[in-house]
Chain A
Amino acid sequence: MSPDLTTTYLGLSLRSPLMVSSCPLTGDLDTLAEIEQAGAAAVVLPSLFEEQLVRDELHLDQVLEQGAYAFGESLTYFPDMPDYGVGPDAYLDLVSSAKARLSIPVIASLNADSTGGWVRYAELLQKAGADAVELNVYLIAADTGKTASQVEDEYLQLVGDVRAALDIPMAVKLSPYFSSLANMAVRIDAAGADGLVMFNRFYQPDLDLDTLEVVPSIELSQPWELRLPLRWIAVLYGRVTASLAASSGVSDAEGVAKVLLAGADVAMMASAMLLHGVRYLPLVEANLVRWMEANDYESVTQLKGSVSYQGAANPAAFERTNYMRTLASYE
């Protein structure tokens, strides 16, 4: 008998732990249908970026107004459109259309940059029919006058605010750059997060040597990047009530098995799908099943957290030992 792949994430029952995380593929309805067909247990839509919406709206207003009512022959330069497609409507349409078309859970992703924005857009996503909302929190603590605890308080405040406004489950996609990540995760859990997604891969700026300009840059994640979520999922497993999702570096069935062993409820993939296409997903699932069968695992539930750090009283001390071993291996 095939092993039982079912799992639970954010309280949602899933047919397997394989999810497709927020990426360009999940922004297209036809592709979403293919993803479902390929066996994904749930999808996270691309993020709704409040900053982008605001910037687009103000920019549109600026270009429509420039030159307007300045010269008698050309009082305006564009036809008055019935709708300019600004604001979150297009995204909300994606949510509701995806919900109508798919039978698997559809999780909306939100990146706002104002307190009001987090709450307002989260409510809109819920209203549009999202099964859950993933908060893609993206705060770069570049303000030298701001302390770590102030940054942490901002996170907790917005998690609490959104939690209070929503009836549906809510996940928080975390940054790995907290001084005390474990403590922060526990506090976010306590603030009402139903799931922790590890981790957010920030766009890191790059320099263009031709233009000497700062340019945004993003690369597909690499398999070695899995180690970071692996460690922290292992650390947090059993210490938070929230579901745990591994994101970053999950590239094959082995990676999925590893994060499940460490304690993840689901494994999210994006780069691997972008690289190999949607049809890669059934292969991962088949390989996972094969590995579970080869290793006599009956179910994902059985697998989940079996190699976590739960037994260790002080995970940081464990980590340090590990570090010393690593150094020693070079000698």
Chain B
Amino acid sequence: MRQRWECIDGNEATARVAHKLSEVIAIYPITPASPMGELADAWTAAGRTNLWGSVPEVVEMQSEAGASGSLHGAAQKGALATTFTASQGLLLMLPNMFKMAGELNPAVIHVAARSVATHALSIFGDHSDVMAARTAGWAMLAAGSVQEAHDFALIAHAATLRTRVPFLHFFDGFRTSHEINKIALLEDDDMRALVDEDALLEHRARGLSPDRPVLRGSAQNPDVFFQAREAVNPFYEGVPTVVEDLMEHLARRTGRRYSLVDYIGAPDPERALILMGSGTGAVDETVEAMVDQGEKVGALKLRLYRPFPSRRLAEALPSSVRAIAVLDRTKEPGAVGEPLYTDVIASLHESLREEAVSVIGGRYGLSSKEFTPSMVYALYRELAEASPRRHVTVGIVDDVTNTSIPTAEDFHVGFEGVQAVFHGLGSDGTVSANKSSVKIIGEHTDNYAQGYFVYDSKKSGAVTCSHLRFGPRPIRSTYLVEEADFIACHQFNFLEHLDVLGRAKRGATVLLNSPHDATSVWKQLPVEVQAQIIDKGLDVWVIDAYELARDLGMGARINTVMQPCFFALSGVLPRERAVVAIKESIEKNYGKRGRAVVEQNFAAVDRALEALQQVSVPSAVDGLLHRRPPVPANAPDFVQRVTARMLAGEGDLLPVSAMPVDGTFPTGTARYEKRDIAQEIPIWDPGICIDCGRCAIVCPHAAIRMKVYRPEMIEGSPASFKTKDFRSKEIDGYQLTIQVAPDDCTGCGVCVEVCPAKSKERARHKSINMEPIGAHRSVERANFDFFLGIPEIDRSLLDHQTVKGAQALQPLFEFSGACAGCGETPYLKLLTQLFGDRIVVANATGCSSIYGGNLPTTPWATNLEGRGPAWSNSLFEDNAEFGLGLRLGHEHSVAEARRLTEELSALVGDGLARALLDSPQSTEAEIAAQRERVVALKQRLSGADGVHAGPARRLRVMADDLVRKSIWIVGGDGWAYDIGYGGLDHVLGSGRDLNVLVLDTEVYSNTGGQASKATPRGAVAKFAAFGKETPRKDLGAMAMAYGNVYVAQVAMGSNDRQTVKAFLEADAWIGPSLIIAYSTCIPAHGVEASTSMARQRDAVKSGFWPLYRYRPTEGEHGHPLHLDSRQATMPIRDFALQEARWAMLARTDPRRSDELISLAQADADERWRYYSQLAGLERTVPHLEDDVGQSLDEETPE
């Protein structure tokens, strides 16, 4: 049979084999392993069968712990079972992994290895997760490339059956899991040949059955546990031979030969590296280049890590080797050395080789840090030293403990072929086009092809960088392109703030998407860019892709405009052939979406080449434009020294000393990152404004600001600064300004959509209107700068229960990287406006922890007094418990501060002490007064001496906790409904004074739209490709069952006043509170950004999302449940079919869609009937008779 080749990534390469060789697949999404589960689920949904002709069962669990439990159960029943995971997910599987190994249950876990969160979460690749699992008793196979991931997946599945030892197959997250490379595909016959049918039948026969009952999983005592543990030894001893055997079998069938330990390099090496994973690619290239230069170097690539093949390692290591560097892609603080290093040392000791060689340990590549030939070379150089350092790091500058060795910057390996780099935006389709180009070249020519894609941390205005390689030999370069033959910049403004041409090789071709034509573009380039072009002799071309895309109705998607230009200029394919291949690819990728989409893209391809223009490069720089500094000059020191470097793409160059030692970062740094990503921004017309504040409350990025101030405060304002009289019941003589932050706006248009104030003369004209930014940028920049300087209003002057009252308060959550139109962030902003200067936030991992805490910048901010939310993310699964811990810590601190205040009342003064202890703090004015008392307290404590000195010192540290604080536990539905539900339930049941805010998008938004238990019936999501069959879980009703938990269901877009009320009531309720906030997710719901709030309106109007507040009371005859929305006036169908998540099913399977939507209607009707009945019920929180019963303020009818 002719060898089939395909360009796929490591996840797909693995999943194809895993799906083929499994019967039960238990999954849970986690980056970077999620695509494996998604593919398996999609294949099963499409009816794809495994090797034995049955369709594997794919089940999504509530967590990785759940997935491993199901994996364990399936294996115990004699099924072929697998799962996919990474990082914390693998750690959650550990308890079951120990059990499964102890019971000799054959199974495979495929791991896209990723950093375990320590001082910070990181989604990127290293071996800290798999190394944490190395004691569990699983065999561990390490793949170093996409091809190896494909092949080793087979080895793992085949070996676990033959050995009965469960296998963990891992490869590097992102570098391998997400790299597209051309691989030779395994055929079914290859798999059939390696999988031992007898072993499978034996596995089945061991499955639990009442027809042959056994007991497995006993509890054992000291008498036998130890011996039983040793009973498994023969099985582990047999693993290396079986794996070798399978590798040999694979080699015979495919020609691809692997060993447990592979040696590469000179026949008589003196220096050697030992490592595993994707780093072997860079080592391969370096060794080849060095050996060509006559250097005696070599390397051992370790394939089987557990059981550790000591004997094979010793055999594979040439006897001439005198110095070895063992490289670990992990860090084990406090250990003698990292795991592979200590394993190798022990093996050499056991094989009596340790005397003859010196061994050093090196750490590299943590969290996908680049590992390049120049770093590999540096390691060999270190080994050449008379006495190499015992423990080193490479790839960073460690100026604190001086572990790092300098990179050999002047060493490069050559590349035979074309290397290309593309800078684009997430929204412009650059990555899609490049994936297509890799497939075109890899699958339509004899060339090999590789694609690797780097994304920044933003969800709006995200910058992408694609690294592509094409050449006649298999591509092993497991690092970014360093010297590109071709560079494309798909966004002209990148040239102003990124070093776009830094990776350009001398004489490279540069393609710019430019609004300026070839004759006028030169002077629009920053002089630094001009200098690079001249110095490197670059060949520059321009095309106005946006104009062409607009003309074709493609909006911002310029992928099929830029792609043919790449082919035309790079010459990797003849032009005509390229056009045909691109069109075939368009047909393949977009054909399912309809003729119109295909033809639109065809037209783009046809017209692109005509619009391409070559720039005549002058011999000298000429212009006034310079690259923009990443942050303004007024930014604080840390931002200048550290944040700015990260923003400029120079984070890799920051030394260890620049980093906080414990992951603590200053808040409020997002304000220095001026992203300037909106094409249109909202412009205020004060003449029509009705002061409602709705534009401000819905703004996802706090880019529409409202300030109320005395007229004299804007003396000296720019002439363009707009103001109007502020209409208010509470205050008189104040002015109002609604101001846009032009560089921070994403242009989503939600503010305009909600604005209720319309011009009487022009129907379309509102009080706020989207206008092209060009004419407004500089004017509004000046206005916003001035606006920021206007003092904030006294918080006690306005009624915070009103939207406009709340919106006049300073937001302390601003300019995050959330999606344009994000439905979550307006709630967080509101939270900070109401209580931001006195809250601690426990944030579950998810979208909110990423846009809230992913460097470089931090959107949680501080006010002028330096107060603001203190924020922390522990994990995904433990957020409620983490928040409870914060509460317990706080309560202890408050109790201690109160005790010390009592104890020191003589020193403090009895009056002040009593006031500090007894004063109410329910209003802004009362809180402000308490803050003043604390200032006075600290002053009086400062002079304490003698016996008071110690207590006074302690009280000074804790005194601020005498001012009321709130703990807010924030997260998404994946956390609250699924992985963290057990903890959330426990915390709600604790009775403690905690506030929980669930940002409910009804889907795992952050990991790309997998179904959660909040996903509604009939909606399509990943893991629910044909519409979710079951209704969403009613989290609110479950919490109400406690009786003493304040519960509110809100949707800001439907009733912003109710939202504000709910936040205030939740904070006021001394006990657990839960707010479930409908949060439109633009990409995962499949709706347009500007409709974010309109979707919420319809959700409520249709009865899909009833608004309510459950206000527990200790008073008599209370009716705690208040329904805040009316009975539905719109069918669920009319709401649902406006969103792609439902509309997709209506298209693909109208009958099933009809059924599920009818059931969803019944769900809504029944829920309304149930809630209506509950609203009529009396309920009182039980309390002791002599207690003063707690209740919220009387509800006033709307």
Contacts and interface: CB of A to CB of B under 8 A. Distances in A.
A70 B459 contact: yes
B1028 to A, nearest CB: 12
Interface stretch (B351-359, B481-489, B1031-1039, B1081-1089): B1081-1089
Given A76-B1008, A78-B1009, A85-B1148, A70 B1086 contact: no
Contacts of B1082: 66-67
B426 A84 contact: no
Contact of B593 (A66, A74, A86, A213): A86
Interface string A40-73: 0000000000000110111011111111111111
B1001 to A, nearest CB: 11
A79 B1022 contact: yes
A58 B600 CA distance: 9
A82 B178 CA distance: 23
B458 interface: yes
A255 to B, nearest CB: 34
Interface in A79-115: 79-87, 90
A212 interface: yes
B605 to A, nearest CB: 16
B455 A86 contact: no
A257 B593 CA distance: 48
A70 B1068 CA distance: 40
B1087 A63 contact: yes
Most buried by A among B425, B593, B1022: B593
Contact of A78 (B462, B1089, B1144): B1144
A56 B1141 CA distance: 14
Contact of B1008 (A54, A63, A74): A74
Contacts of B590: 61
Nearest to A72: B455
Interface string B762-778: 01000000000000000
B41 A79 contact: yes
Contact of A73 (B31, B41, B597): B31
B852 interface: no
B464 A67 contact: no
A76 B1140 contact: no
Most buried by A among B41, B46, B455: B455
A60 B597 CA distance: 9
B231 interface: no
A75 interface: yes
Contacts of B181: none
Nearest to B34: A73
A86 B597 CA distance: 10
Interface residues of A, number: 36
B38 A79 contact: yes
Contacts of B464: 69-70
A61 B597 contact: yes
Given A70-B459, A72-B123, A78 B1086 contact: yes
Contacts of B631: none
A64 B1086 contact: yes
Contact of A71 (B459, B592, B1021): B459
Contact of B1007 (A74, A79, A85, A213): A74
B463 to A, nearest CB: 9
B1020 interface: yes
Interface string B1048-1081: 0000000000000000000000000000000000
Nearest to A62: B555
Contacts of B32: 72-73
Given A74-B1005, A78-B1022, A78-B1140, A66 B594 contact: no
Contacts of B426: 67-71
B763 A212 contact: yes
A53 B594 CA distance: 8
Contacts of B595: 57, 87
A73 B1022 CA distance: 14
A57 B1008 contact: no
B1009 A72 contact: no
Nearest to B763: A212
Interface of A: 53-54, 56-58, 60-87, 90, 212-213
27 contacts: A53-B594, A54-B594, A57-B597, A58-B594, A58-B596, A60-B1143, A61-B594, A62-B555, A64-B1140, A65-B429, A65-B557, A66-B427, A67-B1084, A68-B426, A68-B1083, A70-B462, A73-B850, A73-B1008, A74-B1006, A78-B1084, A79-B1020, A79-B1025, A82-B46, A83-B1148, A84-B1147, A85-B1147, A87-B595
Given A60-B1140, A78-B1144, A79-B45, 16 more contacts: A54-B594, A58-B553, A58-B600, A61-B593, A63-B1140, A64-B593, A69-B426, A70-B462, A71-B457, A71-B458, A74-B1009, A78-B1086, A78-B1141, A79-B1023, A85-B1149, A86-B1147
